[in-house]
């Protein structure tokens, strides 16, 4: 499909206005989608009110307060806007106009797996005198520093209040990365990063019912999207929004802040009109944001959240001067093939423009109507990356070496009781010397199914992941000793449901080996006694108590079993119990692997028997001595051939 096109920049597309911000020492000109006009009307939270003549309500905040949104959403938008952002899930092939106008209401998804932090110190920085009071610079600083220190983090949304306190929201798995930036120096000022237990400002405030006026305005926004969607071309044309007569008439383009909020609402409607990733990919392949005088992608960042898989994007006629103004889209749009930036200053002002964008977008082939890659080059690059990845360690199933039956009896009883009565299982198998630890690894490959992604909050407070917990005192504190303390900790963990060990053994890998030198609880053997090292790999279902959603996790649980002290309820006890949790990935199919390995060996036996005329039994023995190396087995046969008796061969005359 041809890439999206639209009118190029003209004098109307480069208009600018002075931001009305009473919190800075002076004004500053800013670019963005807007219509020149007076300052916005704000509600008591400092957010723009979407109506024409709302009743004024204030708590002393200034109307020019920064309202820039971050990733995935705006800062506390007005109640009317939040009502517009309801889940709208619609199925079927109806036109966009009909699908938007017939949308059922749905509540917001819960925020249990997200954390809110307050960052202070910005007011003392040199950036505080900037037009945006340093907000954009600080957000870029956070993302850049976290990327340099490790894997980086994703800011979902942000808000800067009158007192220069920046509130940000991140995923639970990024919380620890953000805390690493505590006491860092930004623009000459030390930052303080701390979690806010109260959550997002105003999140719990009651929401008034949607007024008739707001319903009418919502309908108008839906019509704007409907008229700009080309179903045949799968194109969403959002070019020249500043000249849209409906948006101008609604008063949504009077200033930059209101225009940015309007764009977020438009994206929210799109996001919920096409509720799944597949629906988005099928409906929208190309998006045009041409001629909107955008100078920073933070103004339209939500596009990357709503349509991450688009193939064609038109940014022509905008005001991007440097690549850093596009940096928040770095790593996004992984399937982007065409990017038009005709008429943007960055084309001539940044010499690394082409090279950098090719690195950011690995499938980019057309940059401003110039071919920068061919499909063959992309295929070769992907093949090279695949070849450079480490080869996964082969899985050969369980290695179980316990003839006593102790470990099997323990596991069968333990798994059932852990799901139903943790207090009892702790009393039976654990004593005052038993140890338990928990380790959470959040950055692991995840099963790509549609099962809910569960939050880690309930486990992270106890996690003893030694790559994260580095101080000795914290490591010691998180090593739980004694049945009573273990029992108390287990009561705080979510309820689980493991597969039945007898009927669903294929969902586990169990390894068991003898382990000498375990401390003798009776003190009679100074060199220790024999025990068992038992490792269980598997999965379990978990119910999120805050949402009642059922999801899955993968785990590895390593037990050290040893003789129990005199008077114990069983003949053995748990000396050590280490539970490691990670995102769900199914256990490899051990039966097919074992079958495939056996088939390979059988073919080798048959071929060697044909070549040497040895019986299958002796051919197998020869291959086993050569560690199942076929060439080595042939060489071994040639070496021993003169000394072999007739019983080795199928034909005694051979």
DSSP letters for 202-215 = TTTSPPPPPPHHHH
For domain 11-111+203-375, give the CATH number.
3.80.10.10
Residues in CB range of 197: below 8 A, 6 or more apart: none
pLDDT of residue 486: 96
CB 555 within 8 A of CB 497: no
What pLDDT does 290 receive?
A: 93
Cα–Cα dist 297/333, whole Å = 13
CATH no. for 399-588: 3.10.450.50
Distances (CA, A) of 252 to 225, 241, 256: 15, 10, 9
Return the closest-CA partner of residue 577 out of 535, 527, 517, 624.
535
3-state SS assignment for residue 570 = coil
Q: Are 315 and 344 in contact (CB under 8 A)?
A: yes
Work out the widest C-alpha separation in the chain, in whole angstroms: 109
Q: Which H or E run contains 559?
A: strand 550-563
* pLDDT averaged per 10 residues, the chain (length 654): 42 39 43 48 45 41 41 41 39 42 40 81 88 87 82 83 89 84 88 86 58 76 89 93 87 81 87 84 93 88 90 93 87 91 89 89 93 91 78 62 84 93 94 95 70 81 90 92 95 93 88 91 89 94 78 94 90 95 83 64 87 88 86 88 85 48
Per the listing, tokens 């692991």 go with 444
Annotate 391-402 with b (16+ C-beta within 10 A) or e (fewer).
eeeeeebbeeeb
Tokens representing residue 25 in the block: 């020492």
* Distance between CA atoms of residues 20 and 46, nearest Å: 13
Cα separation, 415 vs 497, in Å, equals 9
Cβ distance 550 to 559 under 8 Å? no
The H or E element that residue 578 is part of is: strand 572-583
Both tokens of 18, joined, read 């002075």
Q: Is the dihedral of CA 454, 457, 462, 464 positive or negative?
A: positive
- How many C-beta atoms lie closer than 10 Å to residue 269's C-beta? 23
Supply 319's token pair: 């005001």
* CB crowding 583-602: b at 16 or more within 10 Å, else e: bbeebbebeeeeeeeeeeee
466: left (phi over 0), alpha (psi -120 to 50) or beta: alpha
Q: How far from chain centre, in Å, is Cα 265?
A: 24
pTM of the model: 0.42
Instruction: Write out 296-337 in H/E/C secondary structure.
Output: CHHHHCHHHHHCCCCCEEECCCCCCCCHHHHHHHCCCCCCCC
Distance CA 160, CA 145 (A): 20
For residues 453 and 437, give the distance between their C-alpha atoms in angstroms, rounded to a whole number. 23
Instruction: Give the pLDDT score at 526.
Output: 87
Domain limits, the chain:
11-111+203-375, 112-202, 399-588, 591-648
With residue 471 as reference, give the H or E element that holds it. Answer: none
Query: Per CATH, which fold does 112-202 belong to?
Result: Alpha-Beta Plaits (3.30.70)
Give dist(CA 161, CA 76) in Å, integer: 11
Q: Give residue 119's Cα distance to chain centre.
A: 23
CA triple 642-643-648, angle to 5 deg: 100
Question: Do strands 185-186 and 189-190 pair parallel, antiparallel, or not at all (unpaired)?
Answer: antiparallel
Residue holding tokens 């700009």? 228
Give the Cβ contact number of residue 646 at 10 Å: 9
Residue 48 DSSP symbol: B
Closest by CA position to 153, among listed 142, 161, 162: 142
* Topology annotation, domain 591-648: Helicase, Ruva Protein; domain 3 (1.10.8)
Give the contacts of 477 (CB within 8 A, at least 6 positions apart): none
- Cα angle 289, 294, 298 (rounded to 5 degrees) comes to 95
Q: Which of 190, 187, 193 is nearest to 135 (CA)?
A: 187
- Kindly give, in sequence order, each residue whose CB lies less than 8 Å from that of residue 173, ignoring residues fewer than 6 positions away: 442, 443, 456
- DSSP letter assigned to residue 134: T
What CA–CA distance (Å, rounded) separates 82 from 80? 5
Looking at residue 32, its pLDDT comes to 52
Structure tokens at 653: 């005359």
Count of residues for the chain? Answer: 654
């Amino acid at each position: 499909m041809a890439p999206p096109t639209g009118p190029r920049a003209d004098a109307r597309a480069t208009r600018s206005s002075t931001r009305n911000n009473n919190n800075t020492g002076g004004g500053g000109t800013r670019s963005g989608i807007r219509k020149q006009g007076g300052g916005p009307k704000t509600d008591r939270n400092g957010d723009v009110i979407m109506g024409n003549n709302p009743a004024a309500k204030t708590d002393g905040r200034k109307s020019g307060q920064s309202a820039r949104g971050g990733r995935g959403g705006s800062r506390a938008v007005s109640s009317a806007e939040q009502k517009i952002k309801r889940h709208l899930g619609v199925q079927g092939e109806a036109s966009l106009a009909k699908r938007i106008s017939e949308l059922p209401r749905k509540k917001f998804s819960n925020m249990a797996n997200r954390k809110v932090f307050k960052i202070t110190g910005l007011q003392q920085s040199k950036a505080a005198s900037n037009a945006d009071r340093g907000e954009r610079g600080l957000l870029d600083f956070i993302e850049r520093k976290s990327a340099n220190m490790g894997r980086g983090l994703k800011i979902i949304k942000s808000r800067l209040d009158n007192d220069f306190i920046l509130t940000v929201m991140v995923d639970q798995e990024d919380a620890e990365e953000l805390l690493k930036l505590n006491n860092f120096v930004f623009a000459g000022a030390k930052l303080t990063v701390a979690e806010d237990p109260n959550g997002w400002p105003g999140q719990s405030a009651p929401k008034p019912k949607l007024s008739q006026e707001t319903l009418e305005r919502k309908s108008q926004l839906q019509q704007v999207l409907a008229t700009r969607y080309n179903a045949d071309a799968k194109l969403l044309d959002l070019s020249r929004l500043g000249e849209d007569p409906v948006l101008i008439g609604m008063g949504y383009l009077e200033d930059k802040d209101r225009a940015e909020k309007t764009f977020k609402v438009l994206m929210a409607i799109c996001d919920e009109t096409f509720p799944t990733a597949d629906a988005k990919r099928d409906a929208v392949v190309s998006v045009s944001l041409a001629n909107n005088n955008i100078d920073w992608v933070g103004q339209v960042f939500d596009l990357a959240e709503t349509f991450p898989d688009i193939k064609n994007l038109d940014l022509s006629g905008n005001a991007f001067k440097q690549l850093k103004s596009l940096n928040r889209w770095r790593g996004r749009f992984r399937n982007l093939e065409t990017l038009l930036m005709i008429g943007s200053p960055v084309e001539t002002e940044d010499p690394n423009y082409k090279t950098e964008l090719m690195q950011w977008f690995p499938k980019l082939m057309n940059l401003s109507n110039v071919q920068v890659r061919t499909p063959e080059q992309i295929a070769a690059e992907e093949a090279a990356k695949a070849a450079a990845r480490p080869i996964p360690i082969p899985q050969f199933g369980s290695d179980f070496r316990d003839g006593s039956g102790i470990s099997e009896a323990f596991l069968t009883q333990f798994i059932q009781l852990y799901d139903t009565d943790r207090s009892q299982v702790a009393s039976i198998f654990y004593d005052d010397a038993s140890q338990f630890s928990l380790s959470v690894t959040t950055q692991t490959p995840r099963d790509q199914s549609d099962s809910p992604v569960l939050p880690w909050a309930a486990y992270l407070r106890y996690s003893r992941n030694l790559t994260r917990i580095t101080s000795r005192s914290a490591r010691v504190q998180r090593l739980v000793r004694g049945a009573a303390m273990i029992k108390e900790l287990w009561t705080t963990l979510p309820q689980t449901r493991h597969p039945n060990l007898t009927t669903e053994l294929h969902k586990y890998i169990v390894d068991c080996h003898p382990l000498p030198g375990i401390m003798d609880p009776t003190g009679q053997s100074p060199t220790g006694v024999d025990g068992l090292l038992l490792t269980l790999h598997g999965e379990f279902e978990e119910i999120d108590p805050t949402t009642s959603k059922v999801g899955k996790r993968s785990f590895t649980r390593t037990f050290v079993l040893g003789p129990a002290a005199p008077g114990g309820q069983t003949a053995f006890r748990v000396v050590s119990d280490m539970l490691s949790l990670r995102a769900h990935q199914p256990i490899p199919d051990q039966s097919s692997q074992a079958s495939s390995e056996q088939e390979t060996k059988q073919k080798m036996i048959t071929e060697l028997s044909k070549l040497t005329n040895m019986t299958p039994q002796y051919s197998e023995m020869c291959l086993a001595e050569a560690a199942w190396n076929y060439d080595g087995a042939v060489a071994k046969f040639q070496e021993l051939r003169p000394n072999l008796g007739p019983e080795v061969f199928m034909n005694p005359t051979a």
